[in-house]
């Protein structure tokens, strides 16, 4: 019987004994490392948000390190999954700033919109946990949402930085007046 990605979770695909679990394990490690490094490097974000993003990355790596057992769950896997999803849901709000030149995705209203979308997906995923037929789909959408938001923030920071005047340009503008 083939694996049904719409109804079965990512964790089931990466469970001990699955033939290609290394693919999902590698993806979880990769996403975790990316979130960890992004949290370290994302200087324009508020420190609290950066710390939550780093910890979310660590949770992703620990989810990979503690897969589900072949025919049952794993308490460690489930704990790191729960903590990770909470951290990855709230970090956008904790990363916001109030400065006039704040990049778009670090602005409070945009971050709240991202969190609202994620919370809606999480409510659906939680409902699907109780034998819902679309568990896999709901989990993948939550995962994609949480994985793409750091990228959107980084792009927002780069775009905002590209439009910012360099100190030499500002000094020359002041002298020319």
* Inside any domain, residue 1: no
- What tokens appear for 151 in the block? 């990228």
**C-alpha angle 129-143-79 in degrees, rounded to nearest 5:** 60
- Number of structural domains found in the chain: 1
CB–CB of 4/132 below 8 Å?
no
Question: What is the tens place of the pLDDT at every residue in 90-100?
Answer: 999 999 999 98
5 Rama class: left (phi>0) / alpha (psi -120 to 50) / beta: alpha
H-helix or E-strand spanning residue 87? helix 75-94
CA-based diameter of the chain, in Å?
Answer: 76
pLDDT in tens, 26-50: 999 999 999 999 999 999 999 999 9
Whether 96 contacts 108, CB under 8 Å: yes
pLDDT for 50-77, tens place per residue? Answer: 999 999 999 999 999 998 887 777 889 8
The parent domain of residue 139 ranges over: 10-175
- Does the residue 53 lie in any domain? yes
Three-state SS at 100: coil
Q: How much is the pLDDT for 72? A: 75
CA-to-CA dists, residue 139 to 13, 53, 157, angstroms: 12, 19, 28
β-strand partners of 69 = 72
The confidence band for 171, taking pLDDT boundaries of 50, 70 and 90, is low
**Each residue's pLDDT tens digit, 104-133:** 999 999 999 999 999 999 999 999 999 899
């Amino acid at each position: 019987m083939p694996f049904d990605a719409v109804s079965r979770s990512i964790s089931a695909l990466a469970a001990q004994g699955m033939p290609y679990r290394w693919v999902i394990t590698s993806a979880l490690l990769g996403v975790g490392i990316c979130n960890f490094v992004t949290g370290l490097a994302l200087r324009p974000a508020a420190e609290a948000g950066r710390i939550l993003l780093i910890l979310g990355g660590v949770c992703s790596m620990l989810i990979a390190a503690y897969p589900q057992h072949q025919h049952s769950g794993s308490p460690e896997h489930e704990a790191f999954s729960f903590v990770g999803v909470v951290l990855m849901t709230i970090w956008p709000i904790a990363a916001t700033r109030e400065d006039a030149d704040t990049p778009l995705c670090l602005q409070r209203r945009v971050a709240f919109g991202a969190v609202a979308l994620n919370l809606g997906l999480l409510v659906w995923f939680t409902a699907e946990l109780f034998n819902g037929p679309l568990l896999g789909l709901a989990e993948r959408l939550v995962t994609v949402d949480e994985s793409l938001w750091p990228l959107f923030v980084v792009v927002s920071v780069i775009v905002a930085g590209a439009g910012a005047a360099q100190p030499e340009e500002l000094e020359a503008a002041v002298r020319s007046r």
